[in-house]
Amino acid sequence: MSAKLFIAILVACATVLAINGVLGRILFMRDFMGYLNDQGVERMREVMPRLIAEYEKENSWDFARRNPREWFHLMRPRGAQDEPPTLGIPSVSDQTGAVPRFALIDMNEKLVVGNANAAQDAIRLPIESHGKQVGWLAMVPFQKAIASGDVRFYNAQVRAWWVNGATSVLVAAVLALLLTSTLLKRLKVLTQFVHKLALGDYTQRITALNRDELDQLAGDISQLASKLENIEHNRRAFMADISHELRTPLAVLKAELEAIQDGIRPMNQSTLAPLQSEVQQLNKLVDDFHDLAVTQTGQFSYEFEAIDLHRIVQAAASNVQARAADSGLDLQVNAQDEPVFIHGDESRLLQLMSNLLENAIRYTDANGQIHAQVHRAGGEAQVIIEDSAPGVEAALRERLFDRFYRIEASRNRASGGSGLGLAICRNIVESHGGSIHADASSLGGLRIHIRIPLLQQQLQQLPS
């Protein structure tokens, strides 16, 4: 992995440097060479009038054939023809490099005087006398002159390109090595972390410094490990709770059936009644398991419509009124006169309110009170169900909605609950976009507070 990453980074850097060198050479040849050629063309235009004047004296190019020095004298810059060269310093024409590349070509495409290479791929300007073309003034392109003349400047530039390229590749190799070693060291830590997660070790964590994307990835993986650890803990607790809840009724059934089979107990109505009770308890437990599972996964079948929450609470209270009276409890429902509409499922909301009222009846001491209230507040429908003693300690109230959780002191298993009712209630409330929590009741017991958003049409009718 390290070798592949190192080679990839090095090749990328070398490719960029190669492209930079090629483009630099192309731009040098196009721009700098083009600039020099343009300078030569300007020189050609400058000497053109003097060249035509000399041609018209004899009406031929014989003067250039007879005396090539006269030709070079005409090609020199204006004002420099009569100046003697300074000792050790070339003349202006020699410094430009254009004059040695000039050539004179007659109408028969024959070289009269000048650079012999000007006949091929030369830059030409026509020479006209009295409206008639009499020849061409030609110039060898600068790049051709370089190729043939082996100019030291060009060779120096080529050597500089090679040295620069080699040095850049070497620096890129060092940087790539440092980068790959640092990056792979951090990736190795992440790889080992994920490998341990795959093996089921969810206790490890990585400290994220929030410096870059790798640190963010490390933080996200640590959060994932924390959630997986919590899920695994809940899964094990759930399996333990299920086995514990099923073991008790199954043990009773097994003992009763074995007693009947051994002839210890006769098979009659009195011996079958406890068996029927345990079967009902098992059936209720299985139904609660199913409701809890589908409410957690969102697979509950909901049919949302406009529902008057006041009517739902009244219906649930009517269903359990007789049971409350049998337990010596005073059940009262206080609600506003106008309806409180929400967007919900009637059967699930009735299940919700029935579970909460039955829970209050089951865990409230005899001669106690249960009060239910329904009202609107702040764009929400609120339901409050509270009961009298016994109460619940503040530290334990948040756990009331956990599955299988019971308070063994007063609200215990002997009351007949599976410990799943409040967990199911929370899932139903959250499925309606609401919230549910527990706190102390002014009656001395527990107070359940539910908030569900009001129906949109009813929100629009509220005074602003």
- If asked whether residues 59 and 81 sit together in one domain, one would say yes
Q: What backbone phi and psi angles, to 5 degrees, belong to 112?
A: -90, -50
For residue 205, being part of any structural domain is answered with: no
Whether residues 310 and 261 fall in one domain: no
Cβ contacts of residue 362 below 8 Å, gap of 6+?
A: 411, 415, 416, 417
Q: What is the CATH number of the domain that holds 286?
A: 1.10.287.130
* Cα end-to-end distance, the chain, whole Å: 66
Task: Tally the C-alpha atoms within 13 A of residue 155's C-alpha that lie toward its C-beta.
Answer: 6
Tokens of 167: 């040095």
Say if 134 falls within a structural domain: yes
Q: What Rg do the C-alpha atoms of the chain give, in angstroms?
A: 50
Calculate what percentage of the chain has a pLDDT beyond 70.
75
Domain closes at, from 134, 149, 164: 149
Report whether pLDDT(382) > 90.
yes
CA separation for the pair 357, 387 (Å, rounded): 9
Q: Who wins on pLDDT, 217 or 305?
A: 305
Residues 270 and 327 in one domain: no
Rounded to whole angstroms, the Cα distance separating 384 from 325 reads 20
Q: 103 exposed, middle or buried (CB, 10 Å; 0-12, 13-18, 19+)? A: buried
Q: How many domains does the chain have?
A: 3
Q: Report pLDDT for 312.
A: 92
Whether 399 is covered by a domain: the verdict is yes
Which of 398, 403, 436 lies closest to 293, judged by CA? Answer: 403
DSSP label of 442: T
What is the average pLDDT across 369-379? Answer: 90
Task: Indicate whether 309 and 279 sit together in one domain.
Answer: no
Among residues 225, 232, 195, the alpha carbon closest in space to that of 208 is found at 225
Q: Is 321 a member of any domain?
A: yes
Count CB neighbours of 358 within 10 A: 18
- Tell me what the mean pLDDT of segment 378-401 comes to: 86
- The count of other CB atoms within 10 Å of the CB of residue 63 is 16
Rounded to whole angstroms, the Cα distance separating 103 from 145 reads 13
Residues 137, 6 share a domain: yes
- Compare 295 and 395 and report the one with higher pLDDT: 395
Per-residue pLDDT reduced to its tens digit, 309-330: 999 999 999 989 988 998 899 9
Task: Please tell me the predicted confidence (pLDDT) of residue 290.
Answer: 67
Last residue of a domain, one of 129, 149, 169: 149
Query: Are residues 250 and 309 both part of a single domain?
Result: no
Q: Which amino acid type is present at position 241?
A: D
* 312 and 253 co-located in one domain: no
Query: Residue 272: which domain range?
Result: 213-293
pTM above 0.85, yes or no: no
- For the stretch 32-41, pLDDT in tens is 667 777 778 8
If asked whether residues 48 and 106 sit together in one domain, one would say yes
Residues 263 and 323 in one domain: no
Nearest CA-CA partner of 458 in 306, 336, 313, 344: 306
Question: 332 exposed, middle or buried (CB, 10 Å; 0-12, 13-18, 19+)?
Answer: exposed
* pLDDT for residue 18: 73
What's the token pair of residue 366?
Answer: 């005899």
DSSP annotation of 161: H
Measured CA to CA, the distance from residue 316 to residue 336 in angstroms comes to 17
| Any domain includes 370 | yes
Listed in sequence order, the DSSP H helices in 199-268 are 213-261
Query: Which residue in this structure is represented by tokens 């102390």?
Result: 440
- The reply to whether 226 falls in a domain is yes
Residues 128 and 228 in one domain: no
User: What pLDDT does residue 355 have?
Assistant: 86
Q: Is 38 or 417 the better-scoring residue by pLDDT?
A: 38
Closest CA to 128 of 217, 52, 66: 52
Query: Does any domain span residue 101?
Result: yes
What is the residue whose two structure tokens read 């190729």? 147
Residue 20 lies in a domain: yes
Which pLDDT score, from 0 to 100, does residue 155 have? 65
Q: What is the token pair recorded at 351?
A: 């299940």
pLDDT at 293 exceeding the cut of 70 = no
Contact between 349 and 428 under an 8 Å Cβ cutoff? The reply is yes
Rounded Cα gap, residues 303 and 345, in angstroms = 5
Cα–Cα distance between 128 and 299 in angstroms, integer? 97
CB 71 within 8 A of CB 100: no
- Which residues have CB under 8 Å from 63's CB, separation 6+? 54, 55, 57, 70
Q: What does the block give as tokens for 253?
A: 């059934």
At 324, which CATH number?
3.30.565.10
Out of 262, 293, 324, pick the residue that ends a domain. Answer: 293
* Half-sphere exposure (Cβ direction) of 63: Cα atoms closer than 13 Å: 15
Q: What is the DSSP letter of 298?
A: T
Helix (H) or strand (E) holding 451: strand 444-453
In the block, residue with structure tokens 């009124």: 321
> Same domain, yes or no, for 124 and 79?
yes
Least confident of 96-100, 319-323, 397-401: 96-100
Residue 302's CB is within 10 A of a number of other CB atoms, namely 15
> Within this chain, do residues 71 and 24 fall inside the same structural domain, yes or no?
yes
Residue 392's nearest CA partner among 363, 358, 354, 368 is 363
Residue pLDDT, tens place only, 255-273 = 888 888 888 888 888 778 8
